[in-house]
């Protein structure tokens, strides 16, 4: 496997080589994977179209790289450890051999129902091992998986199923999460009343709640696997995939109303998740890696499943939450399984800070070596607490910046090998060429500057398209600044050339590390009877990072504000999911608009943030008086 860049000099050298001769650089790294056929060309790209092809002509199956190739040497090593939501329930361990077997069996169950290469399969499950098995089984047979986070509503599920024209769903009866028991199958039943493409639904029973099964469509997971002959299933070769065949779709929110299906392909994504996993965390064989994300998000795809498994690591999958039944659950899990790498989000860290230091102080956690953070900018207080209280001052912190679209980490320090700086993601990985631009797209040179973060050339893990709408991919990422990939983030570059990501500069919010499009929430709020118009902005929130502030024009009785807010949030939950509920709702008689009718979000943001002194020029507004009214009614 690629050797680790274990100091700043070796990182700098690799970085130069990767930019000077990307084909030689990535060709050498890719040589170390299992291919059915090697590539004809390492890289072919054009950001205008956009078109990016890595390892074109190569053939592979990613699951052979994540499972089969480890069998001779590591077959009896733990591949996946699963820890329940309930501390009393025993954990489960799958060795590489057992995980391989389970994946082959479920892959055969899928084949038995006619699911084949290129079919789209939506997965809507809680964090049980069968979720990992389902994802890998799809990859094994070349079906394109689209995992939908278990917190999304029936409406969101049906939108995603319809957009992908999925032929099958894999779900659970329900999911345990903290004190909650979430009825997933009921949501699927409701969602499928609006979907005609789905022919089969597999149901894994986790909570044993009562469910209804539609005859001819629904199959219990247990029945499906009981019907498979193990030896026969293992003997079936993995589907041969072209390097640029889609591996999965993952829907994510953007600045327009409808979530986009980000598409990642087989070879580049595999190389990128493997490379970034091993380098960022400085992974050593035998280490146990605990990524606390949900597999419904990209972090779970790349750093619970594909990255660690392709490296032959032991990946720990946790069903629960950081604070259930008490706020030392993470620390218990770390001690119980002697975790080496802990990878979590600032929002989780902040909620644990809020619970008090006594919980973490009881746990020495001597096994911990590397602490990772991802999903949103980490504030200095959270960084230092993570370092001192969790890492006891002896663990490296890696601040990894990346996105659903990037497949894996782009900017990070390398644990212990390159310098860290609190709140800074620091330096780009080899192959990643970031730059800052101003609003007009002019590059901002030098250090101690800030601007909009773009990337100049493709790395192996970049998205290839948005499902069913390539033009949208072009417009969203490659047209704002022609010739560049635009991240949607703002960043600053310090005197050492280290990057600090300051947050989104588009109409996307980051609430508890979840990406939420303002237009999506506004569309949902506007469905509430009597709502004429709404505008959503983010405001600083102690735990969530950003909270959702909604300004709503409502024609109706406003005497009972509480029940109005409750009613609006119920519609949001039903349309998107509880993660998108507004934290504050203010009823207004008008919104600040320019004479051309554009909502001045900058002003609304400042009011929500409480920065009333810096509202800027409001005289160009259609109705400047509305601003005073909004300020007076601030929540």
Which residues bind to ligand PRX, rule: CB under 6 A? 252, 298-299, 374-377, 399-404, 425, 487-489, 501, 503-504, 510, 515
Return the number of the residue (80 or 378) whose C-beta is nearest ligand PRX.
378
CB closer to ligand PRX, 145 vs 515: 515
- What is the edge-to-edge ordering of all strands in the sheet holding 465-466? 218-220, 200-204, 168-172, 120-124, 144-147, 246-252, 260-265, 465-466
Name which of 18 and 426 has its Cβ closer to ligand PRX.
426
Cis before 50? omega within 30: yes
Tell me how far, at minimum, the Cβ of 310 lies from ligand PRX, in Å. Answer: 18
- How far is Cα 126 from Cα 187, in angstroms, rounded to an integer? 13
b/e string for 350-372 if b means 16 or more Cβ within 10 A? bbbbeeeeebbeebebeebbbbb
Instruction: State which residue, 273 or 400, has the beta carbon closest to ligand PRX.
Output: 400
Backbone dihedral angles phi then psi of residue 235, each to the nearest 5 degrees: -75, -20
Q: How far is the CB of 377 from ligand PRX (least distance, A)?
A: 4
CB of 37 to ligand PRX, least distance (A): 32
Which of 168, 398 has the CB closer to ligand PRX?
A: 398
Kindly tell me which of 63 and 412 has the beta carbon lying closer to ligand PRX: 412
- To the nearest whole angstrom, how small is the minimum distance from the Cβ of residue 483 to ligand PRX? 20
Report, in Å, the least distance between residue 69 CB and ligand PRX.
Answer: 27
Within a 10 A sphere around the Cβ of 401, how many other Cβ atoms? 26
Minimum CB distance to ligand PRX, residue 91 (Å): 26
Tell me the C-alpha distance between 314 and 287, whole Å.
Answer: 7
Burial code of 385-394, b = ≥16 C-beta within 10 A, e = fewer? bbbebbbeee
Element (H, E) at 225: helix 221-226
- Give me the least distance between CB of 379 and ligand PRX, in Å please: 10
Quick one: 133 or 484, whose CB is closer to ligand PRX?
Answer: 484
Q: Which is nearer to ligand PRX, 57 or 490 (CB)?
A: 490
Q: In terms of CB distance, is 312 or 538 closer to ligand PRX?
A: 538
Q: Which of 299, 295, 292 has its CA nearest to residue 316?
A: 292
Residue 280 or residue 585: which is nearer to ligand PRX going by CB? 280
To ligand PRX, the closest distance from the beta carbon of 271 in angstroms equals: 18
- Closer residue to ligand PRX, CB minimum distance, 94 or 401: 401
CA distance 282 to 452: 29
The distance of closest approach from Cβ of residue 95 to ligand PRX in the complex, given in angstroms and rounded to an integer, is 29
Give the C-alpha separation, 206 to 212, whole Å. Answer: 15
Shortest gap between Cβ of 353 and ligand PRX (angstroms)? 18
Backbone angles phi, psi at 554, to 5 degrees: -130, 130
**81 or 409: whose CB is closer to ligand PRX?**
409
Contact 202, 221 (CB under 8 A): yes
- As a whole number of angstroms, the distance between CA 539 and CA 325 comes to 30
Q: What is the DSSP letter of 613?
A: G
Beta bridge partners of 289: 315, 341
> CB of 163: closest distance to ligand PRX in angstroms?
18
Choice between 327 and 488, CB closer to ligand PRX: 488
Q: How far is the CB of 402 from ligand PRX (least distance, A)?
A: 4
- Residue 560 backbone phi and psi in degrees, to 5: -100, 85
Looking at the Cβ atoms of 312 and 431, the one nearer to ligand PRX is 431
| Three-class HEC string of 393-450 | CCCEEEECECCHHHCCCCECCCCCCCCCECCECECECCCCCEEEECCCCCECCCCCEE
Nearest residue relative to ligand PRX (C-beta) = 404
Residue 18 burial (CB count, 10 A): 21
Q: Provide the minimum distance between the beta carbon of 406 and ligand PRX in the complex, in angstroms, as a whole number.
A: 7
Greatest Cα pair distance, the chain, in angstroms, is 76
Nearest distance in Å: CB 517, ligand PRX:
11
The candidate with the shortest Cα–Cα distance to 242, out of 448, 436, 460, 54, is 54
User: Can you list the pairs that 473-476 forms with residues at least 24 positions away whose Cβ atoms lie under 8 Å?
Assistant: 473/50, 473/260, 474/49, 474/50, 476/254, 476/260
Q: Residue 297: what are its φ and ψ, rounded to 5°?
A: -115, 165
Q: Is the bond preceding residue 71 a cis peptide, omega within 30 degrees? A: no
Q: Which of 275, 269, 270 is nearest to 2 (CA)?
A: 275
> Shortest gap between Cβ of 503 and ligand PRX (angstroms)?
6
Q: Smaller CB distance to ligand PRX: residue 202 or 275?
A: 275
Beta strands in 313-368 (DSSP E): 314-318, 341-344
């Amino acid at each position: 496997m690629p050797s680790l860049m274990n100091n700043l000099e070796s990182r700098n050298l690799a970085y130069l080589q990767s930019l000077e001769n990307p084909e030689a650089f990535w060709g050498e790294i890719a040589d170390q994977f299992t291919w059915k056929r090697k590539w004809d060309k390492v890289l072919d790209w054009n950001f205008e179209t956009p078109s990016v092809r890595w390892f074109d002509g190569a053939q592979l199956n990613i699951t052979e790289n994540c499972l089969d190739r480890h069998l001779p040497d590591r077959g009896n090593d733990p591949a996946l450890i699963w820890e329940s939501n309930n501390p009393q329930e025993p954990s489960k361990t799958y060795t590489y051999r057992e995980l391989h077997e389970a994946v082959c069996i479920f892959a055969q169950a899928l084949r038995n129902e006619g699911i084949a290469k290129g079919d789209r399969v939506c997965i809507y499950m809680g964090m049980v091992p069968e979720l990992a098995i389902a994802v890998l089984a799809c990859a094994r047979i070349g079906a394109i998986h689209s995992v939908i986070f278990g917190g999304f509503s029936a409406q969101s599920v049906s939108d995603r199923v319809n957009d992908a024209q999925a032929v099958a769903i894999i779900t659970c009866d329900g999911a345990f999460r903290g004190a909650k028991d979430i009825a997933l199958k009921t949501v699927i039943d409701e969602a499928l009343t609006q979907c005609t493409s789905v022919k089969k639904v597999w149901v894994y029973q986790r909570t044993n709640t009562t469910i209804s099964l539609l005859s001819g469509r629904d199959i219990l997971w247990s029945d499906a696997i009981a019907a498979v002959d193990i030896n026969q299933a293992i003997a079936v070769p993995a589907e041969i995939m072209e390097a640029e065949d889609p591996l999965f779709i993952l829907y994510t929110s953007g600045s327009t109303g409808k979530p986009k299906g980000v598409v990642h392909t087989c070879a580049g994504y595999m190389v990128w998740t493997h490379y970034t996993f091993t380098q960022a965390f400085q992974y050593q064989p035998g280490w146990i890696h605990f990524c606390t994300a949900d597999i419904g998000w990209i972090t779970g795809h790349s750093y619970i499943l594909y990255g660690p498994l392709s490296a032959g690591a032991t990946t720990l999958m946790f069903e629960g939450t950081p604070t259930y039944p008490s706020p030392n659950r993470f620390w218990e899990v770390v001690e119980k399984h002697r975790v080496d790498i802990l990878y979590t989000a600032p929002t989780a860290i902040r909620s644990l800070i809020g619970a008090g230091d006594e919980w973490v102080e009881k746990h020495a956690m001597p096994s911990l070596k590397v602490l990772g953070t991802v999903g949103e900018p980490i504030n200095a207080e959270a960084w230092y607490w993570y370092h001192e209280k969790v890492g006891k001052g002896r663990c490296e912190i890696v601040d990894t910046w990346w996105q659903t679209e990037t497949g894996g980490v782009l900017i990070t320090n390398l644990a212990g090998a390159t310098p860290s700086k609190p709140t800074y993601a620091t330096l780009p990985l080899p192959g990643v060429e970031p730059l800052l631009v101003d609003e007009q797209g002019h590059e901002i040179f030098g250090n101690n500057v800030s601007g909009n973060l773009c990337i100049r050339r493709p790395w192996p893990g970049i998205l290839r398209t948005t499902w069913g709408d390539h033009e949208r991919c072009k417009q969203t990422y490659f047209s704002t600044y022609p010739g560049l990939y635009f991240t949607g983030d703002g960043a600053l570059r310090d005197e050492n050339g280290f990057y600090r990501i300051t947050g989104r500069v588009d109409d996307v919010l980051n609430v508890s590390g979840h990406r939420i499009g303002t237009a999506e929430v506004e569309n949902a709020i506007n469905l509430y009877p009597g709502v004429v118009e709404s505008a959503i902005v983010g405001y600083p929130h102690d735990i969530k990072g950003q909270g959702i502030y909604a300004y709503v024009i409502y024609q109706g009785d406003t005497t009972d504000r509480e029940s109005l807010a409750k009613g609006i949030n119920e519609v949001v939950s039903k349309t998107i999911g509880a993660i998108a509920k507004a934290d504050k709702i203010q009823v207004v008689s008008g919104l600040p608009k320019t004479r051309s009718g554009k909502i001045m979000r900058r002003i609304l943001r400042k009011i929500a943030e409480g920065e009333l002194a810096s509202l800027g020029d409001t005289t160009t507004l259609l109705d400047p008086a509305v601003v005073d009214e909004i300020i007076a009614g601030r929540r």
